[in-house]
């Protein structure tokens, strides 16, 4: 095919791709479009599948059989981790305005040099990976031009200016610089970019499926046909399950699982570009489905290539060679575009991510450190980012041009994966382990990368002849256990071997650093925020501890320089709205405002640069670990308070309602008191009236001797009644007010009851009331604690009531005393008049006297039962009544029994005191 | 002889008033509550009824109301003798048509004088 046609096709495809991006970006505010966000997100994740996948899977399947699957099984197994790990990553990055992995790590471990280290390591690990995409594109281009000519090396452009890959690099760099980095904010969501990536994903899937269908159903008669022919040709790598090594598979899956989450391009689309955590749910099923589809035809194509193509065709080229050599030119073009789209998507996103890292963590901190204001501006920030894009592209191109040519596609991809897995311990520690610290992370990364370089990079260098072959054959200086390909004598395929040892050394460094070295206060602070992010999200500015002096105007100047005046004012407004507190524009700012501003700046220049900016302005103080613990405790208490506020206001409402009720009751008590006083005076007036009348009669009128004696006797009775009433009123008042103290002596209840009965016996005899007693045998041994006189008063009240209201004939009173566990139960049963059911609830009320239908004047003061009740209750007991009108009443008194062991305890206490 | 009815639930007050008013030249009837009083009023048509207020079942106010609503008892005078000493209680008594309201404890001399005046 003519190279011009292919170049035009490639350019046309890029034009369409950028067109999609521009179109979507322009309709930014379109609500209808935002509904597609979750699909864009889900379809952006297959940026994981690169040109390496597109061409290399078939290649690897052809050579190693099922091993190619490990690269996809890892991400599939990572799906359940989406919600656990990725959601947490998303939340932290959103809250802290983090856009790259080095930002994430250095913010957590509060170390600027760590950010430089991670950036450099990632760039080293990923540049080769970008370069193999360029290689894939240029190889496929050559392959198309030469229509299946088999040697790719001979057709490589001899000069840079005749090399297609060079122009591709330039076009993609321009796209990133003018489209993606057009806006300042790096954490802002680039929907246009996501749309382009998703578009790429669809194109590469369709292209690969097209090749698969072509091979399976046009060149062969379906899956069955291929496998039968393979059996006939005895190509056994897919039928021999012994080729699957457990540990190797485990390591490769672990590798691809961590790559799926931590590769810069994955982190960029999955974490930084995520606009809604819920989108993970869609991605959770769309992405696995995508992987299933794109892998569906890998094996048939590999087998088809093996069966149909000559053995000197590079298996990596089968995808393209099968349609080309079968004269299916249109399909070949579609396939070429598929591979091209896979490469461009990977290059674009990886370059964005790497250039952000490079700019934010290396370039800008170096520029900002001087504290010169002219440099601390948005122009510099954007320019540095653009320079970083060019640097990354150039690095990738020159690596491709002078190094990658020498290596096969697949091994470079896996070596990149092995580099990325070195960050897994740091990231998991940042997310879940508060004690992980910067020493652990640094030591782990250095150790891990050192071993990675030794076991994975050195052998490839040997392979291209830059180091002597003896290194691999005999080990360095002939020490066989240091052989880079079989460290400590371990025999395993190179990638699994390198992964295994680099991870082991990484973990040793990581744990020893974290466990044996101290954590700084600031680090602890961030650890709390990271690990407990879900409870801190809304309050993070209050929880990042910062101590120092910083003048508002200085801070404002920097934020205006970097954010622009409008944005900076908007942010200030938002701050006031969020915290309801204005900023003192002439004085110093508090930690909360500093954190808020720093987060804003992080969104533009990264967290490291923003930290450097702030510290260049302020007089910062070191934070002690214990301060962090204290402040976090306080702020978590504040948070708790905040969340309880609503509950409390509800509580307050309830309380005020209660208060109103209490008020009502108090009013009721007032009225009760009034009623009581007027009842008392009324009750006093009656005897007084009688007395006065008789006295006046005796004075004014002639009376017989007999009358005089009678009247005087009546006067006496009424005076007694008055004084009794007065006594009882005072008594009851004292009892109710709790003013009188009851002497609590050990008493024999039997003795108290017996004495009451004895004193009432004459009266009972006069009124012909028969008396029965039923006492527990054990009663004689039991004790109660109390006031003998008061208890007698209570019992006598009840006995005299029974006598007072006794029937005229066959009246009886029965007293039962039972001991039940800790209680003494005294029951007085009579067969007297009883109480009407409507009155039974009020019988213990003061002055409630059941006035009956008969015209007899009640005989008491109306205070006896209330007094009895008060006395019983003062002794910790209770009194109840059951009665039926004209059939008698049953009063039950329960009193606590005094235990001997209590007496012993008391005695002991006494001894101790003595 | 003028008929007078004394109504009170306090037996000793009844005894003293019965003695006093008999000495004062009245034909004295006694009742211990409102219901009994109404029976006697209907039977005897006393010229004067001396009424306690706080009594079981039918109270003094009700008895007074009964008397004042009965055309046959237009000549009957009502004297309240009560331990209810608040102004509102007294006002209520007069509003119901009572001719006199005496607070307990009262002066027997004043009572005797007043009822004698009423009777003549």
DSSP code per residue over A824-885: EEEEEEE-SS---GGGGGGTTSTT-----SS-PPP-S-S-HHHHHHHHHHHTT-EEEEEEET
Average pLDDT over chain B reads 90
How is chain A split into domains, by residue range?
A: 3-406, 524-623, 631-735, 741-904
Select from A694, A851, A857 the Cβ nearest to the Cβ of B16: A694
- DSSP per residue, B74-119: TT-EEEEEES--SHHHHHHHHHTT-SEEEESS--HHHHHHHHHHHH
Selecting from A678, A681, A693 the residue whose C-beta is nearest the C-beta of B16 gives: A693
Residue A907: the pLDDT is 45
Question: What is the rounded distance in angstroms from the CA atom of residue B92 to the CA atom of residue A193?
Answer: 94
- Whether residue B52 lies within 8 A of chain A, CB to CB, comes out as no
- Kindly determine whether residue A686 and residue B15, on different chains, have CB atoms separated by under 8 Å: no
Tell me the backbone φ, ψ of residue A223, rounded to 5 degrees: -55, -45
Instruction: Note the pLDDT of residue A246.
Output: 78
Could you give the CA distance from residue B76 to residue B46 in angstroms, rounded to a whole number? Answer: 7
Q: A528-559 burial string, b = 16+ CB within 10 Å, else e?
A: bbbbebeebeebbbbbbbbbbebbbebbbebb
Cross-chain residue pair A701–B11, CB shorter than 8 Å: no
- pLDDT tens for each residue of B12-51: 899 999 999 999 999 999 998 889 999 999 999 999 999 9
* C-alpha span between A709 and A454 (Å, rounded): 132
Angle between helices A279-296 and A191-213 (to 10 degrees): 30
DSSP A264: H
Q: Quote the distance between the C-alpha of residue A103 and its chain's center.
A: 22
pLDDT (0 to 100) of residue A157: 46
Partner residue facing B104 (CB), from A685, A697, A857: A685
Contact between A101 and A267 under an 8 Å Cβ cutoff? The reply is yes
Distance in angstroms (rounded) separating the CA atoms of residues A800 and A762: 11
DSSP of A101-121: HHHHHHHHTT-HHHHHHHHHH
Angle between helices A3-26 and A191-213 (to 10 degrees): 140
How many contacts does A have with B, using Cβ atoms within 8 A? 73
Could you say which DSSP state residue B53 is in? S
Helix, strand, or coil (residue A588): strand
Strand partners, A816: A774, A827
**Furthest C-alpha separation in chain A:** 159
What is the per-residue pLDDT for A913?
41
Which residue of chain B has the CA closest to A697?
Answer: B20
- Residue A3 belongs to what H/E stretch? helix A3-26
Q: Cβ separation of A689 and B106 shorter than 8 Å?
A: yes
3-state secondary structure of A522: helix
Which tokens is A538 given? 């809304």
| Cis upstream peptide for B105 (omega within 30°) | yes
* Spacing of C-alpha A430 from chain mean position: 15
Determine which of A852, A857, A862 to mutate to test the interface with B (most B C-beta atoms within 10 Å).
A857
Spatial distance between the Cα atoms of A241 and B42, rounded to a whole number of angstroms: 123
- Any CB–CB contact under 8 A between A707 and chain B? yes
Class of domain A3-406: mainly alpha
Between the two ends of chain B, the Cα-to-Cα distance in Å is 11
For residue A892, give the nearest of A877, A904, A905, A902 by alpha carbon.
Answer: A877
For chain A (914 residues), the mean pLDDT of every run of 10, in chain order, is 81 87 76 77 88 82 79 84 86 84 88 87 88 84 69 47 74 79 63 87 92 87 80 61 70 88 90 85 90 88 83 80 82 89 88 88 81 69 86 87 67 82 91 88 92 86 76 74 78 84 93 87 79 69 67 76 76 74 72 79 78 74 63 61 67 80 80 76 85 90 89 90 84 76 84 90 89 87 87 90 86 89 88 83 71 47 83 89 88 86 47 40
The residue with tokens 């046959």 is B72
**Interval B40-56: pLDDT, tens:** 999 999 999 999 988 87
Q: Which residue in chain A is spatially nearest to B108 when comparing CA positions?
A: A693
Verify whether the Cβ–Cβ distance B84 to A682 is below 8 Å.
Answer: yes
Query: A741-904 in CATH: which number?
Result: 3.30.565.10
CA distance A348 to A20: 15
**Chain center to CA of B65:** 12
Beta bridge partners of A786: A745
Helix (H, G, I), strand (E, B) or coil at A307: helix
Among A686, A697, A711, the residue with its CB nearest the CB of B108 is A697
Q: Around Cβ A185, how many Cβ atoms within 10 Å?
A: 14
How many Cβ atoms sit within 10 Å of the Cβ of residue A340?
Answer: 28
Taking the C-alpha atoms of residue A540 and residue A543, their distance in angstroms, rounded to an integer, is 5
Closest Cα of chain A to B112: distance in Å?
11
Taking an 8 Å cut-off on Cβ atoms, the answer to whether A700 and B32 are in contact is no
C-alpha A485/C-alpha A372 separation (Å) is 50
Residue A300's nearest CA partner among A313, A319, A317 is A319
Please identify which residue in the block is written with the tokens 């090399």. Answer: A163
DSSP β-bridge partners for residue A880: A892
Domains of chain B: residue spans and CATH: 3-119 (3.40.50.2300)
Between the CA atoms of A793, A795, A798 and A804, what dihedral angle is there, to the nearest 10 degrees?
-70
Q: How far is A720 from chain B (nearest CA, A)?
A: 14
Are residues A693 and B57, on separate chains, in Cβ contact within 8 Å? no
Taking the C-alpha atoms of residue A542 and residue A576, their distance in angstroms, rounded to an integer, is 14
Is the pTM value of this prediction over 0.80?
A: no
**Do B17 and A685 count as a contact with CB atoms less than 8 A apart?**
no
Is the distance from CB of A104 to CB of A89 less than 8 angstroms? yes
Chain A residue with CA closest to B83: the answer is A682
Copy the structure tokens of residue A432: 């879940």
Residues 6+ apart with CB under 8 A from B98: B51, B64, B78, B79, B80
Neighbours of A591 (CB within 10 A): 17
d(C-alpha B14, C-alpha B8), whole Å: 6
Q: Please answer yes or no on whether A693 and B13 come within 8 Å at the CB atom.
A: yes
For B6, list phi and psi in degrees, rounded to 5.
-110, 130
CA distances from A419 to A269, A441, A451, A648 (A): 20, 15, 10, 53
Nearest CB partner across the interface for B104, out of A689, A694, A857:
A689
Residue A798 CA, chain-centre distance (Å), reads 66
Alpha helices by DSSP H, A470-531:
470-474, 494-516, 521-531
Provide the pLDDT for residue A853: 36
Taking the Cβ of residue B58 and every Cβ of chain A, the question of whether any pair is shorter than 8 Å is answered with no
Q: Locate all alpha helices (DSSP H) within A701-778, ordered by sequence.
A: 705-737, 749-766
CA separation for the pair A40, A27 (Å, rounded):
15
The residue of chain B nearest to residue A855, with distances taken between CA atoms, is: B32
CATH match for A631-735 among 3.60.20.10, 1.10.287.130, 3.40.640.10, 3.40.50.300:
1.10.287.130
Residues of B in contact with A678 (CB under 8 A): 86
Chain B touched by A719 (CB under 8 Å)? no
Please judge whether A857 and B16 are an interchain contact, meaning their C-beta atoms are less than 8 angstroms apart. Answer: no
d(CA A62, CA A496): 19
- From chain A residues 852-881, the ones with a CB under 8 A of any chain B CB are 852-853, 855, 857
Provide the token pair at A763.
Answer: 């009266």
d(CA B41, CA B77): 12
Q: 3-state DSSP call for residue A821?
A: coil
CB A898 within 8 Å of CB A783: yes
- CA nearest to A503, candidates A438, A417, A412: A417
pLDDT at B99 over 60: yes
Q: Quote the pLDDT of residue A446.
A: 93
Q: What percent of chain B has pLDDT over 70?
A: 100
List the beta bridge partners of residue B6: B30, B50
Contact A830, A802 (CB under 8 A): yes
For residue B10, pLDDT beyond 70: yes
On the question of pLDDT at B85 being above 90, the answer is no
Beta-strand pair A745-747/A784-786: antiparallel
């Amino acid at each position: 095919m003519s190279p011009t046609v292919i170049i035009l096709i490639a350019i046309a495809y890029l034009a369409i791709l950028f067109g999609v991006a521009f179109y979507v970006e322009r309709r930014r505010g379109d609500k209808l479009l935002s509904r597609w966000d979750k699909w864009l997100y889900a379809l952006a994740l297959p940026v994981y599948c690169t040109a390496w996948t597109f061409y290399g899977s078939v290649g690897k399947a052809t050579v190693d059989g099922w091993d190619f699957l490990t690269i996809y099984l890892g991400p599939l197994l990572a799906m359940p981790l989406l919600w656990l790990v990725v959601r947490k990553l998303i939340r932290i990055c959103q809250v802290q305005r983090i856009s790259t992995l080095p930002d994430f790590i250095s913010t957590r471990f509060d170390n600027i040099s760590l950010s430089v280290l991670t950036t450099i390591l990632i760039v080293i690990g990923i540049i080769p990976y970008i370069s193999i995409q360029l290689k894939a594109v240029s190889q496929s281009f050559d392959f198309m031009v030469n229509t299946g000519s088999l040697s790719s090396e001979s057709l490589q452009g001899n000069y840079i200016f005749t090399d297609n890959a060079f122009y591709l690099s330039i076009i993609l760099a321009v796209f990133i610089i003018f489209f993606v980095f057009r806006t300042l904010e790096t954490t802002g969501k680039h929907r246009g970019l996501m749309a382009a990536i998703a578009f790429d994903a669809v194109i590469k899937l369709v292209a690969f499926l097209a090749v698969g269908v072509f091979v399976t159903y046009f060149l062969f008669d379906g899956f069955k046909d291929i496998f039968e022919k393979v059996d006939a040709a005895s190509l056994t790598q897919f039928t021999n399950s012994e080729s699957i090594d457990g540990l190797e598979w485990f390591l490769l899956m672990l590798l691809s699982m961590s790559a799926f989450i931590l590769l810069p391009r994955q982190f960029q689309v999955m974490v930084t570009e995520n606009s809604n955590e819920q989108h993970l749910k869609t991605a959770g099923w769309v992405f696995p489905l995508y992987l299933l589809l794109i892998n569906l035809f890998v094996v048939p194509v590999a087998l088809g290539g093996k069966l149909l193509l000559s053995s000197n065709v590079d298996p990596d080229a089968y995808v393209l060679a099968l349609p080309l050599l079968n004269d299916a030119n249109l399909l070949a073009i579609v396939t070429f575009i598929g591979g091209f789209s896979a490469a461009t998507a990977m290059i674009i996103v990886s370059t964005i991510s790497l250039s952000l890292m490079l700019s934010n963590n290396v370039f800008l901190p170096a520029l900002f450190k001087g504290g010169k204001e002219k440099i601390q501006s948005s122009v510099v920030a954007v320019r540095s980012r653009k320079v970083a894009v060019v640097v990354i592209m150039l690095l990738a191109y020159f690596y491709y041009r002078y190094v990658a040519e020498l290596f096969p596609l697949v091994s470079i991809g896996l070596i990149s994966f092995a580099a990325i897995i070195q960050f897994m311990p740091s990231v998991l520690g940042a997310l879940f382990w508060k004690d992980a610290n910067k020493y652990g992370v640094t030591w782990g990364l250095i150790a891990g990368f050192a071993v990675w370089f030794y076991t994975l990079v050195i052998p490839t260098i040997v392979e291209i002849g830059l180091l002597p072959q003896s290194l691999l054959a005999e080990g360095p200086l002939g020490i066989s256990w240091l052989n880079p390909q079989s460290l400590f004598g371990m025999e395993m395929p190179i990638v699994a071997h390198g992964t295994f040892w680099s991870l082991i050394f990484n973990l040793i460094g990581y744990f020893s650093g974290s466990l044996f070295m101290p954590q700084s206060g600031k680090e602890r602070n961030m650890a709390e925020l990271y690990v407990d992010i879900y409870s801190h999200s809304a309050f993070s500015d209050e929880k990042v501890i910062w101590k120092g002096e910083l003048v508002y105007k200085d801070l404002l100047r920097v934020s205006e320089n970097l954010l622009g005046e409008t944005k900076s004012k908007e942010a200030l407004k938002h701050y006031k709205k969020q915290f309801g507190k204005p900023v003192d524009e002439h004085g110093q700012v508090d930690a909360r405002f500093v954190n808020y501003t720093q987060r804003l700046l992080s969104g533009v220049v990264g967290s490291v640069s923003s930290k450097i900016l702030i510290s260049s302005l302020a007089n910062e103080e070191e934070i002690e670990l214990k301060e962090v613990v204290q402040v976090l405790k306080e702020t978590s208490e504040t948070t708790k308070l905040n969340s309880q506020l609503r509950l409390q206001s509800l509580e307050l409402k309830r309380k005020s309602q209660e208060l109103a009720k209490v008020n009502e009751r108090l009013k009721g008590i007032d009225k009760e008191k009034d009623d009581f006083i007027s009842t008392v005076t009324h009750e006093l007036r009656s005897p007084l009236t009688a007395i006065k009348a008789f006295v006046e009669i005796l004075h004014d009128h002639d009376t017989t001797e007999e009358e005089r004696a009678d009247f005087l006797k009546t006067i006496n009775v009424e005076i007694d009644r008055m004084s009794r009433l007065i006594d009882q009123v005072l008594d009851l008042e004292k009892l109710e007010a709790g003013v009188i103290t009851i002497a609590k002596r050990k008493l024999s209840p039997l003795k108290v009851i017996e004495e009451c009965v004895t004193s009432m016996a004459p009266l009972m005899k006069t009124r012909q009331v028969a008396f029965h007693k039923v006492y527990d045998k054990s009663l004689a041994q039991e004790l109660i604690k109390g006031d003998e006189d008061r208890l007698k008063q209570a019992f006598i009240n009840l006995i005299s009531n029974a006598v007072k209201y006794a029937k005229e004939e066959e009246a009886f009173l029965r007293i039962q005393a039972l001991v039940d566990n800790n209680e003494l139960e005294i029951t007085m049963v009579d067969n007297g008049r009883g109480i009407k059911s409507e009155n039974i609830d009020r019988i213990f009320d003061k002055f409630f006297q059941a006035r009956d239908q008969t015209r007899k004047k009640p005989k008491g003061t109306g205070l006896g039962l209330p007094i009895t009740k008060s006395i019983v209750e003062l002794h910790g007991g209770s009194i109840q009544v059951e009665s039926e009108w004209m059939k008698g009443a049953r009063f039950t008194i329960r009193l606590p029994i005094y235990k001997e062991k209590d007496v012993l305890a008391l005695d002991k206490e006494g001894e101790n005191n003595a | 002889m003028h008929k007078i009815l004394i109504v009170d639930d306090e037996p000793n007050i009844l005894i003293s008033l019965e003695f006093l008013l008999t000495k004062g030249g009245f034909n004295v009837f006694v009742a211990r509550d409102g219901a009994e009083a109404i029976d006697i009023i209907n039977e005897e048509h006393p010229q004067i009824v001396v009424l306690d207020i706080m009594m079981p079942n039918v109270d003094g106010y009700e008895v007074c109301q009964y008397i004042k609503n009965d055309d046959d008892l237009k000549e009957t005078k009502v004297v309240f003798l009560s331990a209810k000493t608040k102004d509102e209680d007294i006002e209520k008594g007069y509003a119901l048509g009572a001719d006199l309201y005496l607070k307990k404890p009262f002066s027997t001399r004043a009572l005797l004088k007043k009822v004698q005046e009423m009777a003549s």
